[in-house]
Amino acid sequence: MRASVIGSGVGGLASAIRLAVKGYKVTLFEKQGRVGGKLGELRIGDFRFDTGPSLFTLPTLVDELFNLAGDVGLERFSYRKLQNITRYFYPDGVTLNAWADVDRFASEMHDVLNEPELNVRRYLRDCEKLYGLTSKTFMFSPFPSKKAFFSDEGKAIGKNVMQLKAFESMHSVNSKSFVTRHAVQLFDRFATYNGSNPYKAPGTLTVIPHLEHNVGAFFPEKGMYSIATSMETLAKKLGVEVVLNSRVQAIEPRRGRIAGIKVNGVSAAADIVVNDTDIFTAYPELLSPKRLSSFYKMQKPSSSALIFYWGVKGNFPKLDLHNILFSSDYKGEFNTLMRKDISIDPTVYIFISAKAVPTDAPMGHENWFVMVNAPEDCGQNWDELVKRTRIAIVEKIKRTLGIDVEPLIVCENVLTPPLIEQRTGSYRGALYGISSNNPFAAFSRHPNRSRSIQNLYFVGGSVHPGGGIPLCLASAKIVDEYISEAGL
């Protein structure tokens, strides 16, 4: 049987691998000249930058793909656990290391912030319990569905619904959990992991720190983009045909079931189609005249990002692999985002992969991925926003780190929300599909299987269970289970 996969983000790549393991003849179509979707790379001279996701959690989901494939004569995908996950810099001069070891992290929180160690340990235990209660239903099962609701896990959620903390904000939960504003701000930041606002997102999202602090944060030996290239190599080894620079024009059903797709003006028959493109563009472009339900259209997009890729002269021991320079007015920053603008005092994330992969920058230099939260594209003057925000970032780095970075920048590239949409198809440049700024967000994502076209499936960040590498891989796993249950 033939399967076509549209889009080569990690969800599409994982789906292609899983279908090939099942014995399908799989063709994966990608409109760009390389695989990866948002998980890309940029090369400027001797500098290499990972352009998209920069933090790697739940690596076992990638390992699982290699385990399914068995011995195909490939080296296993390699990564290491980070000892220091993130270095945080606060406006008042406080610097804190988020150590991977929970006891060491709790001790750091006490010694640096005067936050009681007990609070940190209790909070992370609660995060772990919440993950145990919700992950199977919300992350690794088709949802919402009767099967999910009436499963043992679904019944357990029903009996412990208050433990979900769904009707109070993430910020409210964190404010009750910690006595210092520094600690609250640190854990509020995890709402941005799916493009949400901690002052509006449900407390259920306090499950996110569990993955980073209890399970661990990791980094691939060859950088983040090697996740995509390793999966591509595995797919090809399994017989998947990867067709680049090929834009799919239509998904073609016949009598309520998949017949194939149209690519480069030519129809190609398929028994199964897996779509890994954003549903907000897939429906009008690939499934017309079928329309996306108004229920999904009314959902608010997640936030986006404005990213500067800087080749910087010098080496800076003060900075680690992952670094956060916090805003002095965190709530104000999110209020500004809601007004579709960027704060004049944004929280700045600096990711320097050369700290882990020295060959990513020439000797005596570093590759700085410098990102701030940005709204989705609504027609703003991005040239002006880029100019204004760049000045604010340079000033913040000088003020917070004592580094005058402007004269040290030897090369630069900029990624804006409109460019994110142009290159990845993400609606308005939103990084995670819809936001999770309401208690019912988990019920609001598009399902992984079409209700009207048999053998049409959906993966990736715009559908259940959401955006980010682990959830996109989980969406492929859900589709795999759907196909198995259908006996295909």
Q: Are 430 and 376 in contact (CB under 8 A)?
A: yes
Q: What is the pLDDT of residue 144?
A: 65
Rounded CA Rg of the chain: 22
Q: What is the pTM of this model?
A: 0.95
In the DSSP assignment, the letter for residue 77 is P
Biggest CA–CA distance in the chain, Å, is 66
What is the structure's pLDDT at 73?
83
Please report the DSSP string for 388-452 in residue order. Answer: HHHHHHHHHHHHHH----GGGEEEEEEE-HHHHHHHH--GGG-SSSB---STTGGGSSBPSB-SS
Residue with tokens 């196909």: 483
Is residue 274 within 8 Å of 349, Cβ to Cβ? no
**And the tokens for 401?**
């780190």
Q: Amino acid identity of 287?
A: L
If 0-12 CB within 10 Å is exposed, 13-18 middle and 19+ buried, where does residue 69 land? Answer: middle
Residue 137 has a pLDDT of 85
Instruction: List the domains of the chain with CATH numbers.
Output: 2-39+60-72+224-298+438-485 (3.50.50.60), 103-213 (no CATH)
From residue 110, give the alpha-carbon distance in Å to each of 119, 127, 185, 349: 10, 19, 15, 24
Per-residue pLDDT, 149: 67
Phi and psi angles of residue 178, each rounded to the nearest 5 degrees, phi first = -130, 155
Give the span between the Cα atoms of 440 and 283, in whole angstroms. 23
What's CA 265's distance to the chain center, in Å?
32
Over its length of 488 residues, how does the chain's per-residue pLDDT go in tens digits?
999 999 999 999 999 999 999 999 999 999 999 999 999 999 999 999 999 999 999 999 999 999 999 988 888 899 999 999 999 999 999 999 999 999 999 999 999 999 999 999 999 999 999 999 999 888 998 876 667 767 777 777 777 777 789 899 999 999 999 999 999 999 999 999 999 999 999 999 999 999 999 999 999 999 999 999 999 999 999 999 999 999 999 999 999 999 999 999 999 999 999 999 999 999 999 999 889 998 888 889 999 999 999 999 999 999 999 999 999 999 999 999 999 999 999 999 999 999 999 999 999 999 999 999 999 999 999 999 999 999 999 999 999 999 999 999 999 999 999 999 999 999 999 999 999 998 888 778 999 999 999 999 999 999 999 999 999 999 999 999 999 998 87
Give the list of residues 6+ apart from residue 249 with CB closer than 8 angstroms, or none: 262, 263, 264, 265, 285, 286
Burial 286-322 (b: 16+ CB within 10 A, else e): bbeeeeeeeebeebbbbbbbbbbbbbbeeebeebbbb
pLDDT score of 151: 75
